[in-house]
Amino acid sequence: MVHAVKALFSALVGLFVLGCGSASKEAAGPCSGTGACPAGVCVAGRCRAADAPPAKTGGSRVVLVPRDLAVLTASGGEDGGTLPETVALGRQATGRAVLLLRFVSTWREDADIESAYFVMDTVDGAPQPEAPPVAEIARILSPWSSATTSWGRQPRLGLPESIGPLRVLPSVPLRLDVTPQVRAWAEHERDDHGLALLVDGSDPNGVLASTGLTKGLGPHLEVYLR
């Protein structure tokens, strides 16, 4: 009888530990790559279970292209009113890159956002970064227009949040998890002025990405609704 009770207790403890381990796979914070998620894998800048899909089945997918887009770099480059074909993100010679994007949602106010991703196409054949540059994202807090924005005349931004490294894979677009930021943006949509992608220039090559002028959609959001 005693042995049976001990065996039952051990089984219950094992189930409890297994359950905790499974829950830990869904860590919410941003990650930077291999080894950063002991209980899972780093996907699109966030820790996930190895078999977890980016979004559950049964929902709907919405693609949002920006209504306005400005590409600014610390090296001088183009002002926001002139959109270049490409932008070097994280390249040392380019310096800090700031992408200002204004979106208009197409879903109802009571929509339930399951997940959201910031997506950009990389340029085929461009040199690869020695180390993936880390991207940050921030809410834009004041009005702006690409026609009048420049490096020296930028809108006010909220506190930047890390959203992970820009990892380049063959024939795969850059994809970063921005679910918390899009949920917060949706909650403040009436007084919101968009999102800013920020990447410091610290790599010899950086990541060369398309702005959509000649290839693809350019920077956009993929939003999955329940």
Give the span between the Cα atoms of 202 and 206, in whole angstroms: 8
Report the pLDDT averaged over residues 171-182.
93
Q: Which residue has the higher pLDDT, 207 or 76?
A: 207
C-beta of residue 52 within 8 angstroms of C-beta of residue 179: no
C-beta of residue 135 within 8 angstroms of C-beta of residue 176: yes
Domains of the chain: 2-48 (no CATH), 60-225 (2.60.120)
What tens digit of pLDDT does each residue of 75-103 get? 865 566 689 999 999 999 999 999 999 99
Rg (CA), the chain: 21
Give the span between the Cα atoms of 82 and 92, in whole angstroms: 22
What tens digit of pLDDT does each residue of 131-153 get? 999 999 999 999 999 999 999 99
The pairing of strands 207-210 and 86-89 is: antiparallel
The structure tokens listed for 139 are 């809410």
Q: What is the mean pLDDT of the chain?
A: 80
pLDDT value at 127 more than 80: yes
pLDDT given at position 49? 55
